[in-house]
């Protein structure tokens, strides 16, 4: 039985070494392709974040801050968006000024109006479009 375990262990180690060699070869020989796959995965997660924020913006459009229940929901969604942006360094670089405006919502009568909410939502939506366009340009190699 010990001999069988040694033989199986030997072949297991041999296959591990071979698989590692293939992985190293592919990494060296196909570096650009491997790099582009990882880049695509990162951009996919980035696009998911952008999509989630856009969905939340659409929800914000339907809410009115003059209704106290809806106002608390608006604040909750805005803080959710702020947290999502703050947790993503790429988004935080582009959207920090909008985050500051979103944090002011509800701070006083001037910042609790539907007009202020719409202004912030529109600005964020437009900045997201620009970020999305820049992201697509970088994917196709234009920047």
> What percentage of the chain carries pLDDT values higher than 90?
44
CA of 123: how far to CAs of 3, 32, 43, 48, 64, in Å?
Answer: 71, 37, 23, 20, 18
pLDDT in tens, 94-138: 898 999 998 888 788 878 888 999 999 999 999 999 988 887 777
The torsion region of residue 90 among left (phi > 0), alpha (psi -120 to 50) and beta comes to alpha
Q: What is the pLDDT of residue 122?
A: 94
Give the residue-averaged pLDDT of 16-34.
89
pTM of the model: 0.70
Where in the chain are the domains? 37-140
SS3 6: helix
Judge whether 90 and 116 are in contact, CB under 8 Å: no
Q: What is the pLDDT of residue 68?
A: 85
Q: What is the pLDDT of residue 106?
A: 77
Q: What is the pLDDT of residue 55?
A: 95
């Amino acid at each position: 039985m010990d001999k069988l375990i040694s033989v199986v262990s030997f072949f297991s180690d041999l296959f591990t070494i071979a698989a590692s060699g293939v992985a190293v070869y592919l990494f060296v020989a196909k570096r650009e392709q491997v790099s582009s796959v990882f880049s695509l995965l990162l951009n996919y997660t980035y696009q998911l974040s952008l999509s989630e924020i856009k969905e939340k913006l659409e929800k914000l459009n339907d809410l009115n801050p003059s209704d106290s229940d809806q106002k608390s929901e608006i604040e909750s969604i805005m803080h959710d968006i702020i947290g999502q942006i703050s947790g993503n360094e790429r988004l935080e670089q582009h959207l920090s000024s909008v985050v500051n405006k979103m944090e002011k919502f509800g701070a006083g009568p001037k910042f609790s109006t539907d007009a202020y909410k719409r202004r912030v939502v529109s600005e964020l939506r437009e900045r997201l479009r620009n970020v999305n366009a820049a992201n697509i340009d970088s994917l196709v190699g234009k920047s």
